[in-house]
Amino acid sequence: MPVLTLTEIEDLAFDALTAAGTTAANARPLAKATAETEAEGIASHGLAYIPVYCEHVRCGKVDGAAVPVVEMAAPGMVRVDAATGFAHPAIAAGFPSLIDAARTNGIAALAIRESYNCGVLGLHTRRLAEAGLTALGFTNAPASIAPSGGRTPVVGTNPISLAVPDGAGGTALLIDQSASAIAKSEVMKHAREGKPIPEGWALDPEGRPTTDPELGLKGSMAPAGGYKGVGLALIVETMAAAMTGAVLGRDASPFSGPVGGPPRTGQFFLAIDPEASGGAAARTQIDALVGAVRAAPGARLPGDGRRTKRDAALRHGVEVAQATLDRIAAL
């Protein structure tokens, strides 16, 4: 497979997005996130998604020229109206005020509505951790998980992320996981490639486990941990949709395909100054917690794999499927 540098990946994504009608201001943060996603080995959310983004700009599912509107609703509450545009520029627009408010007050929140797919949530919380803040992130998605005992999806895969600063401009801990057993984009990727999915990823329309990705997409994603995954999805739905005034997953249009208008989903970020919450003890306890995990033979911390792949990508570039490059070239 061809090997591209992160700069080449970012430029390729940027050129495709702007060719589709996205403004440079909106395309740049999305292109940068695409390169970072590829670097971390999450190909399903990387360049493979660029044709979908471009299709959605052209059909009006997302406004590529939207200008996010930022307002301070309270000293510790930032609100952003994404104006049915991409989530990435809306998040980028709100983060400076969020960071300032968290440093001033010790804690602050950012509520985003009228938004779109924010890609890999952990990329955004990591930026807050690199600014020295402990971050929690929530984002809702179109319904794809049925509640316990039901067959009709009500909530989305609804990721949640925690990023903890290491005190040196990096992250000591990064957790980024969805409420489903696997991200829906992985099932979509298998469907595109005509490959079966492992049992336990999805359920068919009758609520039965399936290895057919097409049946899984028509049915329901399997929640992680059964009813516990459904509970997690409801927590995220409350924070990212209900608390922000965004559209609930059950009413949001799909993140794939041209059907429906803008999904109008939401994101919610909580930023905490660890010095304000725990003082010097906070740093000591985080180091102790991380150290306890690393001391266990064979144990890994969440985020270790991504960090290793990111470091390797910076040195050697990233392999990208030729089929993906061909689809982008066709744009």
The DSSP H or E segment spanning 175 is: strand 171-177
Active-site residue, selected from the candidate residues 45, 56, 88, 124: 45
Q: Is the C-alpha dihedral spanning 23, 28, 33, 36 positive or negative?
A: positive
Supply the DSSP string of 108-166, one letter for each residue.
EEEEEEEE---S-HHHHHHHHHHTT-EEEEEE--S--BPPTT--S--B----EEEEEE-
- Residue 80: which of 88, 95, 70 has the closest Cα? 70
Dig out the tokens for 238 from the structure: 């409350």
CB burial string 179-211: b at 16+ within 10 A, e below: bbbbbbbbbbbbbeeeeebeeebbbbeeeeebb
Active-site residue, selected from the candidate residues 38, 40, 186, 237: 186
Active-site residue, selected from the candidate residues 44, 144, 185, 253: 44
Q: Has 71 been annotated as catalytic? A: no
What 3-state DSSP class applies to 69?
strand
- Inter-residue contact 255 to 221 (CB < 8 Å): no
- Residue 36 gets which letter from DSSP? H
- Residue 87: which of 117, 63, 60 has the closest Cα? 117
Q: What is the rounded CA–CA span in Å between residue 143 and residue 251?
A: 8
Q: Has 206 been annotated as catalytic? A: no
As beta bridge partners, residue 145 has 155
Q: Has 44 been annotated as catalytic? A: yes
- Residue 271: which of 121, 105, 153, 140 has the closest Cα? 105
CB burial string 55-68: b at 16+ within 10 A, e below: bbbeeebbbbebeb
Dig out the tokens for 44 from the structure: 């399903």
By annotation, the residues acting in catalysis are 44-45, 186
